[in-house]
Amino acid sequence: MHLQRADNHTWRKAKSGLASTAAFVSALLVIAPLGLVFFHLVANGASSVNWDFFTKLPTPVGVVGGGMVNAIAGSLELLALAAAIGIPVGVLGGVYLAEYGSARVNSMLRFIADVLNGVPSITWGVVVYGLVVLRFKGFSAYAGGLALGLIMIPLIIRTTEEVILLVPNGYREAALALGVSRWKTIVHVVMKTASKGIITGILLALARVGGETAPLLFTAFGNRFWNHNLSEPIAALPLQIFTYAISPYDDWHRQAWAGALVLVTGIFCVNVVVRILTRGRTASVV
């Protein structure tokens, strides 16, 4: 056994140090893109994030200025539509997996949810295109919201299930021992106890789909103007960033950087809120 030879101890020590250094460098390389992206976002985008950006519509090609107010509003509308689909289905589905059902069926459903979480987001766009856009003959905010909502479902199911399983059984027993029905126990005691965790899962899912572009390309489609009707195409921040980024115009590139900075700031804010919500999660109950 080479482990027990003492004569090459120094060499082994050195090798260990070398490996540790290599691992450290790897870790630096992994997080380097984060720093670089953030740096360039601020460097290229900060100067274009101004009052106009948040209040003006995009300008036609060649006209300098303008903003992305319609895309910001559009993203929020799409998220609201997605939430209306993803939250109830995801949360209640997660409750089922945690509280009811046989172990066999549940592990099956869990497995399917995990596989769904790995389905490329663009395929959801294609499916919703076939399901809604072709059928109702047009791109629409509804179609975009549906695509995002469907992506949210398996995400929220899994996080909800996980936090509900963390609720100590003592609380269920305490409520049931008062003669409270099972479903009221689940809704008013178990879900209430796990509410922070459930909200965390919802926020993370919203942050995730809020940055999605691919499923919106041929559902929400994008719109240079205000959307006045949810059955019409609607702008979204990621879509607008994409359109501007691949355009040949410098002014649009600046707008794309500004939009990206705003989007990333929004997503990071949600992540910070989540961190605050989950801080002391181990200390308190859930």
User: Under rule CB under 8 A, which residues in 255-274 are in contact with other proteins?
Assistant: 256-257, 260, 263-264, 267-268, 271
User: Interface residues for other proteins in 52-81 (CB under 8 A)?
Assistant: none
Report how far residue 121's alpha carbon sits from residue 131's, in angstroms, rounded to the nearest whole number: 15
Asked if residue 207 lies in contact with residue 268, where contact means CB atoms within 8 angstroms, the answer is no
67 or 90: CB nearest other proteins: 90
How far is 165 from 107, CA to CA, in rounded Å? 14
CB of 232 to other proteins, least distance (A): 16
Stretch that binds other proteins, among 58-66, 73-81, 155-163, 224-232 (CB under 8 A): 155-163
Total residues at interface with other proteins (CB under 8 A) = 123
Tokens of 226: 């205000």
Burial class (CB in 10 A: 0-12, 13-18, 19+), 206: buried
Task: Examine residue 276 and tell whether it contacts other proteins (CB under 8 A).
Answer: no
The single residue among 61, 80, 187, 276 that binds other proteins, judged by CB under 8 A, is: 187
- Among positions 190-249, residues that touch other proteins (CB under 8 A) are 192-193, 195, 204, 207-208, 210-214, 217-218, 221, 238, 241-242, 245-246
The count of residues in the chain is: 286
* Nearest CB to other proteins, comparing residues 66 and 233: 233
| Angle at the Cα of 123 from the Cα atoms of 122 and 128, rounded to 5 degrees | 100
Interaction residues for other proteins, span 112-131 (CB under 8 A)? 112-127, 129-131
For other proteins, give the closer residue by CB, 82 or 263. Answer: 263
Under the binding rule (CB under 8 A), the answer on residue 179 touching other proteins is yes
Residue 165 interacting with other proteins (CB under 8 A):
yes
Tell me which of 65, 136, 188, 279 binds other proteins, using CB under 8 A.
188
Q: Is 93 a residue that touches other proteins (CB under 8 A)?
A: yes
- Residue 45 token pair: 């985008």
Using the minimum distance from each CB to other proteins, give the nearer residue, 61 or 165.
165
Nearest approach in angstroms of CB 276 to other proteins is 13
Residue 3 touching other proteins (CB under 8 A): yes
- Counting DSSP H helices and E strands in the chain, the numbers are 13, 0
Tokens representing 174?
Answer: 């305490």
Q: Measured between alpha carbons, how far is 160 from 163 in angstroms, rounded to an integer?
A: 5
Report the candidate in 235, 231, 211, 210 with the shortest Cα–Cα distance to residue 57: 235
The strand pairing partners of 234, in sequence order, are 221
Pick the closer one to other proteins by CB: 63 or 283.
283
Chain-centroid distance of CA 151 in Å reads 9
Q: Residue for token digits 């963390």?
A: 166
In the complex, the smallest distance separating the C-beta of residue 85 from other proteins, rounded to whole angstroms, is 10
Q: Is residue 157 close enough to count as binding other proteins by CB under 8 A?
A: yes
* β-bridge mates for residue 58, sequence order: 66
